[in-house]
């Protein structure tokens, strides 16, 4: 009986919270700054904790505050987009941050550090619409999971096009698209959780084209498709460390002809686990050689 009462109370609180959640839509009543109340519907009410923020078609919103409220979600429609200068913006928080337009949802600028708290996903059906686009030198901490787009092409959760450090505290996964695409020379990239490939061809968890170091603290596992690698590496000089590479009968992990040194502590080959402290090198597509 007590459990039933507690459940009913919890359900009531949850329903009340959801009922109070507001969809805060940017309308640009005065200018294109986030932190101006007149720029939001409501009427003229800034987004607060628990709100679902929508950036409509045609608006490029400047995120001009250091810390956002703890939002329910952030998403966009059409060409709606957000620019965030990390010299100003320190923390962006939302339960989910999801690109759903025809341009990247959030572009990170500047030379300082930013933390993004929440799970990053992508539902855009267009092409090249990243959820987070890192366009200039910045250190970014992602406190949450990264998941590649569920539709379209090259709709990555995160696309890094420049220098800076990346830390992901959660998991990285491909879906129909790549979870994390590295195309800049990052000073470091550390993924604390597990990395997995996706369901369709080319939907790797991480695609690396840079010489910057990668450090996988969790396991790296291929996806359901034979070319949806946990890690797809095309750099010949990258130094890659991993706790565990999991090889399945269908998928090679990693893919990377003539890539740099791989330091792996555990190899899991079709369910058989081997511990090693060897430095190993990938010489061709599917082969590994140890010293």
Give the phi and the psi of residue 104 in degrees, each rounded to 5: -55, 145
What distance in Å separates the CA atoms of residue 132 and residue 289, rounded to the nearest whole number? 36
CA distance 19 to 4: 22
Whether 180 has a pLDDT exceeding 70, the answer reads: yes
Highest average pLDDT, of 12-21, 91-100, 129-138, 237-246, comes from 91-100
- By mean pLDDT, which of 59-63, 104-108, 199-203 is the weakest? 199-203
Mean pLDDT is lowest, of 1-15, 65-79, 218-232, for 1-15
Q: What is the mean pLDDT of the chain?
A: 81
Is pLDDT at 223 greater than 90 in this prediction?
no
Q: Which of 160-169, 174-183, 266-275 bottoms out in mean pLDDT, i.e. has the lowest?
A: 266-275
User: At residue 227, does pLDDT exceed 90?
Assistant: no
**DSSP character string of 249-270:** SS--SSB-TT--EEEEEEEEET
The domain segmentation of the chain, as residue ranges, is 24-290
């Amino acid at each position: 009986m007590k459990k039933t009462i507690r459940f009913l109370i919890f359900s009531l609180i949850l329903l009340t919270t959801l009922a109070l959640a507001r969809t805060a839509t940017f309308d640009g009543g005065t200018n294109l700054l986030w932190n101006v109340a007149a720029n939001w519907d409501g009427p003229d009410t800034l987004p607060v904790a628990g709100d679902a923020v929508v950036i409509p078609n045609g608006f490029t919103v400047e995120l001009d505050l250091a810390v956002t409220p703890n939002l329910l979600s952030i998403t966009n429609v059409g060409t709606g987009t957000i620019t965030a200068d990390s010299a100003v913006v320190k923390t962006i928080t939302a339960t989910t941050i999801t690109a759903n337009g025809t341009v990247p949802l959030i572009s990170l600028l500047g030379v300082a550090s930013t933390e993004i708290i929440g799970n990053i996903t992508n539902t855009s059906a267009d092409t090249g619409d990243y959820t987070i686009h890192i366009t200039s030198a910045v250190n970014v901490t992602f406190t949450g999971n990264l998941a590649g787009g569920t539709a379209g092409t090259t709709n990555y959760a995160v696309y890094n096009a420049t220098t800076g450090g990346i830390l992901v505290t959660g998991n990285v996964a491909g879906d129909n698209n790549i979870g994390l695409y590295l195309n800049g020379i990052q000073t470091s990239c550390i993924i604390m959780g597990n990395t997995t490939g996706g369901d369709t061809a080319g939907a790797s968890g991480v695609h690396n084209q840079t010489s910057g170091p990668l450090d996988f603290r969790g396991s790296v596992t291929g996806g359901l498709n034979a070319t949806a690698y946990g890690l797809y590496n095309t750099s010949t000089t990258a130094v890659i460390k991993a706790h565990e590479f999991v090889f399945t009968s269908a998928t090679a992990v990693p893919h990377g002809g003539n890539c740099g040194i791989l330091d792996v502590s555990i190899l899991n080959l079709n369910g058989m686990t081997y511990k090693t402290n060897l430095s190993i090198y990938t010489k061709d597509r599917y082969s590994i050689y140890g010293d």
